[in-house]
Amino acid sequence: MHNAYRKTGLLLALLPALFTACQNADSPETSPKANDVVRYSGSDPGARVQAERQKYLVVLKPDAEMTQLLPDGDTDYEGRGNKMRNLIKKLLKQEVSDRAEEVYTKAVKGFSIVLTAQEAASLAQSPAVASVEADQAVVLKVPSGDVTAQAGQETPWGITRVGGPVTYTGTGVAWIIDTGVDLDHPDLKVNANLGKNFINTRKTADDDNGHGSHVAGTIAALNNSVGVVGVAAGATVVPVKVLSANGSGSISGVVAGVDYVATKGKSGDVANMSLGGGVSTTLDNAVKNAAAKGIKFALAAGNESQNANNSSPGRVNGTNIYTISAFDIKGVFAYFSNYGNPPVDFAAPGVGIKSTWKGGGYNTISGTSMATPHVAGVLLLGSPRSNGTVTGDPDGNPDPIVSR
């Protein structure tokens, strides 16, 4: 939450939503117990729906001045943000411009703002506004498990199953839209300078949760003499921190992260989103528009044992977008995994996955959050292909198993 907002004493009311979580798994041979599947219950006091004010995402209609001010090839993220704030002031009014929090200039063009319901309804009537959408809270349970050090290197079963490891020699990077990445982990090549923290802009994108570091290791852990190895071993990972140490965030913050990747990324890069929440058209469109620029997106299907069409961004379909379900070491569909074709494109290893962790350690956990980075690594190496199908898919249409 922004300092300026705290000073107002207003309550930020974010609608509760499911968030793609990971589960602890002590052994890759077995799925975690049913009660280990994490569901957001809405118990966060900041998620009260009936509050007087809440945060909204506002998308502006395109116009000639916007196109001129924000040319597609401009990658000056801060400069674009300043231009958007000036445009908001001109298209709407000074008060709205002053109260705008995150601004979006590439994946979508708009901003977030705290409003009353009456203010939101009034703003939606503006000729300059395309949509006004209530923000939603997203919560990731802090993963548990036995964090360990590692002497010799091992190759996790999932890496082998998808055709890795392969030493990466390309120029693309993997954007980790998550809890950050351990900037000093000896088994990761991290571009900390390009990383960004949307939870606290005064701090780095270092990982204080563990989830993002785990994702990064599956994609790109170094092929060295210690720890684990990733699918595209040695690729550069860039942390985009949109979730806090306790796994909390918001759709508005996730959209800001996608917008940053759309601005700074290039064709051939890969973005991993091992997260999700309630349906959000703004987030869906942000992912679609960023992917249209040539950035490949790997999206977690979710862990609610339901149709993946019920959550964003996992429900998104389009060029350069891949939604991923999970299976175990025996090729059986993970009971917790969301399903549905569309939007699910591939299944990947997601049970008992060992990877890097915050503090230079390693951890073994499960979830579609763990399956998705396997595909992100494959996407860095080229185009994914099918290598068999899973058994036990709830929708009766077995998902293809990804391979490079």
How far is 224 from 377, CA to CA, in rounded Å?
17
Beta-ladder partners of 56: 113, 134
> Is 393 one of the annotated active-site residues of the chain?
no
The residue count for the chain: 404
DSSP 141: P
Task: Indicate which residue of 135, 208, 211, 280 is catalytic.
Answer: 211
**Tokens coding 284:** 């869906």
Of 370, 341, 342, which Cα lies nearest the Cα of 354? Answer: 370
How far is 114 from 82, CA to CA, in rounded Å?
19
Residue with tokens 């949307």: 198
> Is 43 one of the annotated active-site residues of the chain?
no
How far is 217 from 207, CA to CA, in rounded Å?
13
> Is 211 one of the annotated active-site residues of the chain?
yes
Contact 312, 280 (CB under 8 A): yes
Give the per-residue SS3 of 328-359: CCCCEECCCCCECCCCEEEEEECCCEEEECHH
Task: Indicate which residue of 311, 369, 374, 393 is catalytic.
Answer: 369
How far is 282 from 284, CA to CA, in rounded Å?
5
Q: How wide is the angle at C-alpha 88 spanned by C-alphas 82 and 93, nearest 5°?
A: 130
DSSP 372: H
Residue with tokens 């979830």: 367
**Tokens coding 264:** 């700074």
**Tokens coding 56:** 């909204």
Task: Indicate which residue of 36, 135, 178, 182 is catalytic.
Answer: 178
Of 9, 12, 4, 89, which Cα lies nearest the Cα of 53? Answer: 12
Residues with Cβ within 8 Å of 117's Cβ and at least 6 positions away in sequence, in order, are none
What sign has the CA pseudo-torsion 326, 352, 19, 41?
Answer: positive
The distance in angstroms from the start CA to the end CA of the chain is 41
**Tokens coding 71:** 């040319």
**Tokens coding 323:** 């939604």
How far is 267 from 150, CA to CA, in rounded Å?
35
Catalytic positions:
178, 211, 369
